[in-house]
Amino acid sequence: MSPRFGRRTSELDATEVIDAIDADAIDAAPVTHSRSQGWRRLFVGNRVIWVMATVAIVALVAGLGLGQLIVSPGQAAADANAPAAGLITVPIENRTLANDVTMRGDATYADSVEVSIETGELAGAPIITGQVPEVAAIFDTASIALEVTGRPVIVLPGDLPVYRTLRVGVSGPDVLQFKQGLNAAGIDPGALDSDVFDAQTASAVTALYAKVGYPAPTGGADVADAVSGAEAGVTSAQASVDSATGALSVVQGAASNVDVVEQGNLVRSAQRALALAQIDGTPNEIADADEAVTLAVARQTQALAPRDASAEKAAVTAARAELTRAGETLSDARDGALAYLPAGEVLYLPDLPRRVDEISVKRGSSITGPVMRVSGATLVISGSATASDAALLEVGAPAILAMPDGDQTATISSILPAEPASGAAAGSAAASGRFTVLFAPDALTDEQIQAVQGSNVRVRIPVSSTDGEVLAVPLAALTAGPGGESRVEFDPGDGAETVLVEVTTGLAAEGFVEITAVDGSLGVGDLVVVGR
């Protein structure tokens, strides 16, 4: 053996082993010189590879040896004996129990509608000249929706759309609606149960326009001239009546004292002449005197008799008829001069106040269609519930909204059968058993409204709860006795036997149930069995 192998082979390192192999292989090789040089190059040139191979073999052998000694926790658990069977217990708790109905709801403004303005009576193009509201503006009674050609469009409450101008003398349901709108604006329109537009209503129109800061619409200079002409006609007709009446009075009046005396004197003079002729006169003179008396009496009768007044009476009747016509003309002219309500200067919207959602026009543009879209001014949360959940709810009940900045209280405002989908058969909504539940949030700030509008929020509605904390156990702890009574299995601990205790149950919620021991033996912390 070579002196290089004087130590135990196990004490040599890998490099020495390779070196020894190289040297011995070269010394003992019975080959040619060139062949021995090739083997030398094979071992010497690849020394690193031989070292790595040797290390890998050593590591493999060491790993196999350690694997026989090391046991994994899973294998150790599998090899262990199974634990002895025992009771699974939980302590009785003190807790508040509550049953909730939970749903998702969309935050929207209700009853969105398009708004159009009546422009049919305008002489020119309907140009927006001002008062254009911003999105989120609120319309209330007597608000200005727009200014069209310099005139306001006044918002009033009502469902009936505008279809004509209202002025003194017209009547109908639109007049009644207008009067009710005036009353809502705090203006007295006259009798609210009358559908007639009268002078009192016209006066209320003037007050309405004064309230919104615009002059009330009237007939202008032409109407004023018509009133002046009608007043002159009345004056002239009255003069004609006075003249005809005077003439009739003259005809129908009694004879004057002068006429009576004069005619009496003539008759008496003729009678004296007759008396003298009868004394001294000839028969012819007596006859002439007698005829003179007859003539004087006839003239007296004619002079003092009533006259025929038919012509004068007819003149008076005609004059008075003309006066009546002149008075009616004047009344019409004066009514025409009173304030009125043009069709294009009022906008009726139901359920005021209303919120502006979208504006379709701007100042200087012409009206060619709907001018804006408005909706209810109050934010509502609209959710959908099954029939079974809806049966647990009632209008006015409180609810809790999961808002972005924390929980917010709300109130159920309505519970209605869900509307059928477009094209669905009648009655399909009821058949689906779904209900639409509307919630009115309580006192939201503007920031909260902006944050939640158009989003979907979680809504929780408490439908039943205990009055404070009660003794509660998991539902799994309850068992039924032979008589149907409820029981729990009480574990006294310390290896003692368990005891079945009869209990009275209350509200069940969240996997727990309220209990009260019939004998009062159970309390908080006592252990009850839920399994084995």
Query: What's the CA gap between 42 and 454, in Å, rounded?
Result: 81
How many other C-beta atoms are found inside a 10 Å radius of the C-beta of residue 104?
A: 13
pLDDT band with cut points at 50, 70 and 90 for residue 379:
confident
Greater confidence (62 vs 196) lies with: 196
Which residues are 236's β-sheet partners?
A: none
Query: What's the CA gap between 329 and 229, in Å, rounded?
Result: 9
- The CA radius of gyration of the chain, in Å to the nearest whole number, is 59
User: Which two three-digit tokens encode residue 248?
Assistant: 């009739």
298-310 pLDDT, tens digit each: 888 877 776 677 8
Pick from 457, 416, 447: nearest CA to 434: 416
Query: In 116-220, at which residue ranges do the beta strands (DSSP E only) sit?
Result: 128-130, 138-139, 144-148, 151-157
Query: What's the CA gap between 168 and 330, in Å, rounded?
Result: 14
Q: What is the mean pLDDT of residues 323-349?
A: 84
Residues 6+ positions from 385 with CB-CB distance below 8 Å: 101, 103, 393, 415, 434, 435, 437
262-281 pLDDT, tens digit each: 888 888 998 888 888 888 88
Q: Is the whole-model pTM more than 0.75?
A: no
Cis peptide before 91 (omega within 30 of 0): no
Average pLDDT score, the chain: 82
Q: Cα–Cα distances in Å, from 345 out to 58, 174, 339, 391, 499?
A: 103, 14, 13, 48, 85
Query: What's the CA gap between 422 and 435, in Å, rounded?
Result: 16
